[in-house]
Amino acid sequence: MMITWQMGVQTPENTKNFETIRDWWQSLNTKSILWKQRLIPEKGKIDWKPQRFDETFTAETEVRGITYYWKKPDQTEASNITPAKLELDSAKQRLFLYPENQPDLVICVEGAGVAHEKINMTNPAWYSEQLRNSAGGVSGYRLSIIDDNTHKEIRIDMDRGNLNFLKHAIQALEAV
């Protein structure tokens, strides 16, 4: 599923997409990322095969306004991009940034070295609950998925940002 935000588009969906992508970017803070940048060819597809200028580094990430910031461990100041367009491939957990000031460039950012274990379940039971702090306020959310056939239970604890991402993913399923 591709989540797209475009500068200058004034719709509730565009705003919600920006928030989802912003939350994903900020979730990369202090994690290892793979950074690739390519020129957009006039004809044909972009070649995303590994190239010598691709980088893997631990980034400090944040968003201010619509500008995306990152800082490498050896940098004293953060670098930034103001995007004209953002595309988040949620299935592959990779973000494509199209800089406003360089329309012929695209940057691909993804989590580095992530290995995923697949667990297949057919029509499991779903349970949800709000997690509360000592003062009784909501501190997070839990989704439990239980499959009696495989005797497996998956518990997912999430913050508001990840809950919004999950809601967006479910809405995309319903739109199909």
Predicted confidence at residue 176, as pLDDT, reads 67
Separation of alpha carbons 100 and 97, rounded Å: 9
Q: Is residue 118 part of a domain?
A: no
Predicted confidence at residue 116, as pLDDT, reads 58
CA dihedral 126, 16, 20, 165 (to 10 degrees): 0
Predicted confidence at residue 35, as pLDDT, reads 95
Cα-to-chain-centroid distance, residue 14: 15
84 shares a domain with 17: yes
106 shares a domain with 30: yes
138 shares a domain with 88: no
- pLDDT tens per residue, the chain (176 residues)? 789 999 999 999 999 999 999 999 998 999 889 999 999 998 889 999 989 999 999 999 999 999 999 999 989 999 999 999 999 988 788 999 999 999 999 999 998 665 556 788 889 999 999 999 999 999 999 999 999 888 888 999 998 888 888 888 888 888 76
Predicted confidence at residue 103, as pLDDT, reads 92
Q: Is residue 45 part of a domain?
A: yes
Asked whether the beta carbons of 33 and 59 are under 8 A apart, the reply is yes
Q: How many residues does the chain have?
A: 176
Task: Please state the domain count of the chain.
Answer: 2
Asked whether the beta carbons of 114 and 93 are under 8 A apart, the reply is yes
Separation of alpha carbons 127 and 155, rounded Å: 9
80 shares a domain with 135: no
Separation of alpha carbons 68 and 147, rounded Å: 40
Predicted confidence at residue 120, as pLDDT, reads 84
Q: Is residue 71 part of a domain?
A: yes
41 shares a domain with 80: yes
Q: Is residue 117 part of a domain?
A: no
130 shares a domain with 106: no
Q: DSSP string covering 56-94, please?
A: EEEEEEEEETTEEEEE-TT-SS-EEE-EEEEEEETTTTE
Among the listed residues 87, 81, 98, the one whose alpha carbon sits nearest the alpha carbon of residue 3 = 87
162 shares a domain with 133: yes
Q: Is residue 24 part of a domain?
A: yes
- What is the CATH classification number for the domain harbouring 32? 2.30.29
Asked whether the beta carbons of 145 and 126 are under 8 A apart, the reply is yes
75 shares a domain with 51: yes
Separation of alpha carbons 97 and 88, rounded Å: 9
From 84, 111, 138, the end of a domain falls on 111
Domain enclosing residue 159, as ranges: 125-175
Angstrom distances, CA of residue 144 to CA of 38, 96, 139, 170: 40, 31, 17, 16
Q: Is residue 120 part of a domain?
A: no
77 shares a domain with 142: no
